[in-house]
Amino acid sequence: MSERGVFQWFLGVGALLALCWAAGGCADTESVAVFRTQVSELHDLLQADAQRQESVAASLPTEDPQRPQADALAAAARAREQVIAAGIARIDEVLAEAANPTDPLSETVGAAAPLLPISLRGPLVLGTAALVTALRAWRLKAGLSSVARGLSAAMREDEEFRACFMRHANTFRSTQTPTAKRVVDEATSPKPLLALPI
C-alpha cells in the first residue's frame, strides 16, 4: 500500500472511531437510514444546483469571457454532487451488508449480536458491515491496480501486444464499468494518473 493509501486508511479508521465515539452506542440501522434520507435530500439539492450551473454555462457562447468561469463553477457543482452520490452508495452498501451479511466476519457478528446487550448490537453490526465494505473496496481497488500495472508491464515488454491493445482500447473501454474504464486509462496513459476510483 502506498504512503498516501496508508494515510487514507488511517484517516478512515480515525473517522470511523470518531463516529463511534460521537454516536455513543446509539447507532442503529434506523438512525443510519434516517441519516441516509437526509443525505439524499442534500444530494437532490446539489444535483439541481449542478444542472442549473451547467445550463448557465451552456447558455453562454464559447467565446464569452465569462464562459471559463461558468464551466469551472458547473464542474465544481457536479463534483460536489458526485461526492455525495458516492457517499450514499457507500451508506447503501453498509446497510445492505448489515441487513444481509455476505462476508464470514459480518455473518459471525450477526449470529453473535443477539447474545449482546441491545445498546451494543447496532453499533457492532453496523461497524462490522462498514469494515467489511471498506475491506471489499480496498481489495477491489488493489486488484484493479494490479491489473493496470500488469497491462502496463506487458505493453512495455511486447510491442505487438501494445499496438493491438492500443488499437482496441476504445472499443474495450466502451463496454466496461467506470472503474474498469479507469484501468484501461491507467494502462494506455503515457503518464501515471492520480488513483483508481472505487
Residue 30 to residue 16: CA distance in whole angstroms:
18
Kindly report the number of other CB atoms within 10 A of residue 169's CB atom.
16
Quick check: 152 and 186 in contact, CB under 8 A?
yes
Distance CA 180, CA 178 (A): 6
| Count, residues in the chain | 198
For 106-142, b where at least 16 C-beta lie within 10 A, e where not — what string? Answer: beebbeebeeeeeeebbbbbbbbbbbbbbeeebeebe
Structure confidence at residue 198 (pLDDT): 45
Q: pLDDT 10s per residue in the chain (198 long)?
A: 455 555 555 555 555 555 554 455 456 778 888 888 888 898 999 999 999 999 999 999 989 999 999 999 999 998 888 888 888 888 888 888 888 888 888 888 888 888 877 777 778 788 888 888 888 888 888 887 788 788 888 888 989 988 888 888 888 777 777 777 777 777 777 666 555 444
Interatomic CA distance for residues 175 and 185, integer angstroms: 14
Instruction: Give pLDDT, residue 49.
Output: 92
Q: What is the 3-state secondary structure (H, E, C) of 71-138?
A: HHHHHHHHHHHHHHHHHHHHHHHHHHHHHCCCCHHHHHHHHHHHHCCHHHHHHHHHHHHHHHHHHHHH
Residue 3's pLDDT is: 53
Long-range Cβ pairs for the range 143-149 (8 Å, 24+)? 144/179, 144/180, 144/182, 144/183, 144/196, 145/186, 145/196, 147/183, 148/183, 148/186, 148/187, 148/196
- pLDDT at residue 31, rounded to an integer: 81
Reported pTM:
0.61
Question: With the C-alpha atoms ordered 152, 156, 160, 164, is the resulting torsion angle positive or negative?
Answer: positive
